[in-house]
Amino acid sequence: MNLYDIIGPVMVGPSSSHTAGAVRIGYISGKLLDEPVKSAKILLYGSFLATGTGHGTRKALVAGLLGMKPDDTRIPDSLSIAKEQGISIIFGEAQMKEAHPNSAELILQGVSGKTLEIVGESLGGSRINIARIDGIATNFSGDYPTLVVHNLDQPGHVTEVTSMLAHKSVNIATMQLYRNSRGGEAVMVLECDQEIPRDSIKWLEHLEGIQKVTYLSLL
Amino acid sequence: MEMLYHSVRDIVSLSEKYQIPMWQVIMKKDMEERQVTKEETFETMHHMYLSMKQADQEYDKDLVSASKLAGGDGGKIHVYNKAGKNLMGDYASLVMEKAIKMGESNACMKRIVAAPTAGSCGVIPAVFLSYQELFDVAEDKMVEALFLCAGIGEVIAENACIAGASGGCQAEIGSASAMAAAGLAYLQGGDNDMIVNAMTLALKNMLGLTCDPVCGLVEVPCIKRNSAGAVNAVASAQLSLAGIKSAIPADEVIDSMRRIGNDMPKCLKETGEGGLAVTQTAQRLRAYQGLADGEKNTTF
Ligand code: SF4
């Protein structure tokens, strides 16, 4: 926490968790999709669902998806802006068990047909956590350039990724590994201190056993 | 790091040791911590102040929040004050007015500055902007005072908390009020003791305040509490400048706030399960909270 977490941030109200945090979840999700959104199913859970209308949570999530940041004064108009841009948005209730009380599930499709499913949690004071990507548990804040790699659970993939990063002089801040079952699908999440070059990400995508590469660039 | 502090006492000691004002201790710590220049952090803080000003100017008395529970009260108090019927002096009356306006702007999805939180965003701007309007103070001085607020807030956040969900409303409106009181005492020419004492009195008056918002929204009682917290800051600064001392020192009051927050039942910490949130009226209001246009849920 620094001085400007105390005086600040500048944000559109009314709530740092239910509004500003929701914008951040939408924003990071849009960045992870990495192309303009064509359609979004947005499912709310817990307190997001119960008090979302009064807090503008739905508008905030959509605003974030459109690339707005928490201080963007267009947030209250995001639903009509999305409509003008021809983006289809459907809201609903999330069926989740024991999720964080301020959670949203975003099921996104981009203009090229690319899809992405994200569960984001708003932790308070506009900090967020991306808790799930395409059905597999994750855990990252979106404060760093973040690489998410879905791969088959087999030896060698971690080395491929980390040696590529070393080669590009990208330092790893945190690294997490998850899998749904032995030999099944695995995910690695790497938060980095530097941005990863685009062509290195393309290169990763074509490796055998790598199923999907998602990258959060802060640029 | 030279400018490391973990308590109000630490800030005062560093100020005495280096013979610099407390706000400079706070600014220098930020420079060391984030590796920024004096100009950079001063400009960032100034940006916060300008954003508060802009938010104040953009208040719209005709706006109503999505829940329809908030809006328009800033206009009412403005008219009343302008009619010269104010019971309090011009300064405190303007403080009240601006606090209500900012709280309403927040509820109506306008852009505000969280200070320290969105729910308590009206307290510090009300005290500061009214002061600058009525007493014609240089902008730099206002920014210096804002550093002071931020440093006090940092210490409270470290030793207690600034979120209603963890410590009740004493942590939000209470902290904001304490921060504002410190800043105001500085603006009025108070020395370190008076600044610290103003902060202490303000926080002490707010101990035990619960967080029980109706329908879980940052509206009732939050908006009016911003005016209470702001006026409390003015009163506390005035008492302190008159030489009246808090019997309990600053850091012990902050510790008390943490303990009280921990002892406070969960139902009074932003869960909507106690206090005002479970009144008959609140339950009736909750039943009316439908979805706004364009927000219809689809069932899958
Ligand atoms: S009642 Fe709760 S939500 Fe409202 S201002 Fe106080 S702490 Fe914030």
Model confidence pLDDT, tens digit, residues A93-120: 999 888 888 999 999 999 999 999 999 9
- Residue B299, pLDDT above cutoff 80: no
Radius of gyration of chain A, Cα coordinates, nearest whole angstrom: 17
The CB density around residue B117, as the number of other CB atoms within 10 Å, is: 25
* Residue in B closest to A53 by C-alpha: B291
Residue B298's pLDDT band (boundaries 50, 70, 90)?
low
pLDDT in tens, B131-142: 999 999 999 999
User: What is the distance between the alpha carbons of residues B51 and B125, in angstroms, rounded to a whole number?
Assistant: 10
B222 lines ligand 1 (CB under 6 A): yes
Q: What's the confidence (pLDDT) of residue B237?
A: 98
User: What is the distance between the alpha carbons of residues A151 and B173, in angstroms, rounded to a whole number?
Assistant: 49
User: What is the distance between the alpha carbons of residues B213 and B194, in angstroms, rounded to a whole number?
Assistant: 34
User: Which atom of ligand 1 lies nearest, measured to the CA of B164?
Assistant: 7
Q: At what angle do helices B90-107 and B222-241 cross, to 10 degrees?
A: 150
- Residue A121, pLDDT above cutoff 80: yes
**Alpha-carbon distance values, B274 to B175, B212, B267, B269 (Å):** 22, 6, 5, 9
**Ligand 1 centroid to residue A9 C-alpha, Å:** 17
The minimal CB distance from A71 to the residues B30, B66, B111 is found for B111
Q: Which of B206, B222, B268 to mutate for ligand 1's pocket (most ligand atoms within 8 Å of CB)? A: B222
Q: What's the confidence (pLDDT) of residue B204?
A: 98
B164 lines ligand 1 (CB under 6 A): yes
Nearest partner of B129 among B187, B191, B66, judged by Cα: B187
Residue A149's pLDDT band (boundaries 50, 70, 90)?
very high
Q: What percent of chain A has pLDDT over 90?
A: 83
- Ligand 1: which residue has its CA nearest to atom 2? B211
Q: What's the confidence (pLDDT) of residue B242?
A: 98
Return the CATH number of the domain spanning residue range A146-216: 3.30.70.260
B154 lines ligand 1 (CB under 6 A): no
How, if at all, do strands A115-124 and B111-113 pair?
unpaired
B107 lines ligand 1 (CB under 6 A): no
- By CB neighbour count within 10 A (0-12 exposed, 13-18 middle, 19+ buried), where does A163 fall? exposed
B180 lines ligand 1 (CB under 6 A): no
User: What is the distance between the alpha carbons of residues A9 and A4, in angstroms, rounded to a whole number?
Assistant: 6
Residue B83 Cα, gap to closest chain A Cα (Å): 31
B119 lines ligand 1 (CB under 6 A): yes
Which tokens hold the place of B98?
Answer: 């601006």
- By CB neighbour count within 10 A (0-12 exposed, 13-18 middle, 19+ buried), where does A198 fall? exposed
Instruction: Assess A156–B contact: CB distance below 8 Å, yes or no.
Output: no
A3-133 and A146-216, same CATH topology: no
Query: Highest mean pLDDT: which of A38-42, A50-54, B163-167?
Result: A38-42
pLDDT in tens, B201-247: 999 999 999 999 999 899 999 999 999 999 999 999 999 999 999 99
pLDDT in tens, B54-110: 999 999 999 999 999 999 999 999 999 999 999 999 999 999 999 999 999 999 999
Interface contact B218-A4, CB threshold 8 A: no
Residue B165 Cα, gap to closest chain A Cα (Å): 9
User: What is the distance between the alpha carbons of residues B131 and A78, in angstroms, rounded to a whole number?
Assistant: 36
Please work out, in degrees rounded to the nearest 5, the angle formed at the alpha carbon of residue B106 by the alpha carbons of B102 and B110: 100
Residue A187: its H or E element: strand A185-192
Tell me, rounded to whole angstroms, the distance of Cα B108 from its chain centroid.
18
What residue type is assigned to position B236 of the chain? Answer: S
* Residue in B closest to A83 by C-alpha: B294
Report ipTM (2 d.p.).
Answer: 0.94
User: What is the distance between the alpha carbons of residues A67 and A216, in angstroms, rounded to a whole number?
Assistant: 13
* Residue in B closest to A1 by C-alpha: B154
Residue B287's pLDDT band (boundaries 50, 70, 90)?
confident
**Ligand 1 centroid to residue A197 C-alpha, Å:** 44
Q: Chain-wide mean pLDDT for chain A?
A: 94
- Residue B28, pLDDT above cutoff 90: yes
B30 lines ligand 1 (CB under 6 A): no
Interface contact B294-A80, CB threshold 8 A: yes
Tell me if residue A121 falls in helix, strand or coil: strand
How, if at all, do strands A172-179 and A185-192 pair?
antiparallel
**Ligand 1 centroid to residue B174 C-alpha, Å:** 10
Per-domain boundaries in chain A: 3-133, 146-216
User: What is the distance between the alpha carbons of residues B186 and B180, in angstroms, rounded to a whole number?
Assistant: 10
Residue B91 Cα, gap to closest chain A Cα (Å): 23
Please work out, in degrees rounded to the nearest 5, the angle formed at the alpha carbon of residue B157 by the alpha carbons of A59 and A17: 10
- Residue B296, pLDDT above cutoff 70: no
**Ligand 1 centroid to residue B213 C-alpha, Å:** 6
Q: Higher-confidence residue: B188 or A99?
A: B188
Tell me if residue A136 falls in helix, strand or coil: strand
Q: What's the confidence (pLDDT) of residue A97?
A: 82
Which tokens hold the place of A177?
Answer: 């590994």
Q: What's the confidence (pLDDT) of residue B291?
A: 54
Which tokens hold the place of A112?
Answer: 């090229």
What residue type is assigned to position A163 of the chain? Answer: S
Ordered alpha helix ranges (H), chain A: 3-6, 21-33, 46-55, 57-65, 78-84, 157-167, 198-205
Q: Higher-confidence residue: A150 or B296?
A: A150
pLDDT in tens, A170-212: 999 999 998 888 888 899 999 999 999 999 999 999 999 999 9
Instruction: Assess A59–B contact: CB distance below 8 Å, yes or no.
Output: yes
Please work out, in degrees rounded to the nearest 5, the angle formed at the alpha carbon of residue B241 by the alpha carbons of B238 and B242: 85
The architecture CATH gives domain A3-133: 2-Layer Sandwich (3.30)
Which tokens hold the place of B138?
Answer: 């240089």
- Residue B292, pLDDT above cutoff 60: no
Which tokens hold the place of A55?
Answer: 């807090």
Residue A105: its H or E element: strand A102-110
